[in-house]
Amino acid sequence: MFAPMSHSIDFNFPSIFNFGDSNSDTGNLIAAGIETINPPYGQIHFKGPSGRYCDGRLTIDFIMDAFDLPFLSAYLEAVGLPNFRRGCNFAAAGSTINPATPTSVCPFSFGIQVSQFLRFKARVVELLTKSKKFDKYLPAEDYFRKGLYMFDIGQNDLAGAFYSKSYDQIVASIPTSLFEFENGIKRLYDEGARNFWIHNTGPLGCLAQNVAKFGTDPSKLDELGCVAGHNQAAKLFNLQLHALTKKLQAQYADSNITHVDIYTIKSNLIANYSRYGFAQPIMACCGYGGPPLNYDSRVGCGQTKVINNTTVTANSCNDSTEYVNWDGIHYTEAANQYISSEILTGKYSDRPFADKMPFALSLKF
């Protein structure tokens, strides 16, 4: 059972604390010095690389805009006057729900991100008690209780597993991942978090990276040209994640736990791309190799490499607004704008909040 209506969703959040992977990383992995990204990343809006794995803004940026809040500063960003007054972003590209291993792309797994938040909160409270000069840079203490905690993570656990495990092994490992996720939510709840906004994972099989690696056999593809096994695993993960959110809502009756069906939003975009003004649903805008995927794992977007004794560069397409996919792995700003507008209708959320939207948000995009 869901909590009574007295705990219904309120969109007047003073702050947002975000956890996740590259879908919502606004600069943590880059600030950590683990990777670098070069132009044409960030070519739209930011006019240069912004720490985001995108040609411009991410879904979280559009959501912050709709909430009339500034873009979230990355927790690890030390220069450029990061401001954490209205929240903080702990998401890091390549991160997983499961603890990182020595071969992981990113060491900042979900448990580490939660630990970073706990340290952040403790340090904020400590500084606020010492001096008022920090007030304009740090969240007020009650912002931690009143704020919104957002999550978009799990994609890399599934996608990465396909390189070394069978489909059955991957499906069997989902409960372990979700147990780890549940533990993180509990730690945040114990610290006073009460408003949770949880995205499920998208159609992994529709990313050019996965089609290139796992879709060479046409029988492995579905009617959209996506890798069927990847998408089926994502659906099974999402079913169990949704069940977990309902369990948590029943367990924490004084909380608001909202599950957002990102999978359906993204699948609908890919299936009906032309209806929404796109020309390419799967092929990467920025890549190398040309149609049908324009993706080569040996040379990433913006990179120049020598392949077969020839120097090649993975360049951007002429108009990224015609593409759903940016670099074979991540979505374009244009796609992110569509995705965020669909999220904010409330139609894909459990609990639905469509009736609240006209009064709560003024969409600027």
Closest CA to 234 of 166, 158, 181, 182: 158
22 is catalytic: yes
Q: Write down the catalytic residue from 15, 22, 73, 95.
A: 22
| DSSP states along 149-166 | EEEE--HHHHHHHTTTS-
What's the CA angle centered on 131, arms 144 and 120, to 5 degrees?
35
Candidates 199, 230, 259, 330; catalytic one:
330
Nearest to 77 by CA among 29, 109, 120: 29
**Catalytic residue, candidates 95, 296, 327, 340:** 327
31 in Cβ contact with 77 (< 8 Å): yes
Contact in structure between 169 and 116 (CB atoms under 8 Å): no
- What DSSP string describes 92-126? -TT--SSPP-TT-S-S--HHHHHHHHHHHHHHHHH
Six-digit token string for 160: 């990465």
Q: Which residues, in sequence order, are CB contacts of 35 under 8 Å at separation 6+?
A: 29, 93
Contact (Cβ atoms closer than 8 angstroms) between residue 212 and residue 159:
no
Q: How far is CA 252 from the centre of its chain?
A: 25
330 is annotated as an active-site residue: yes
Q: Provide the residue type at 59 as one letter.
A: T
As beta bridge partners, residue 313 has 304
Active site residue 152: no
CA distances from 353 to 94, 276, 338 (A): 31, 23, 18
Q: Residue for token digits 């990847």?
A: 230
CA–CA dist 135, 131 (Å, integer): 8
Residues 6+ apart with CB under 8 A from 349: 258, 259, 260, 261, 343
Catalytic residues: 22, 327, 330
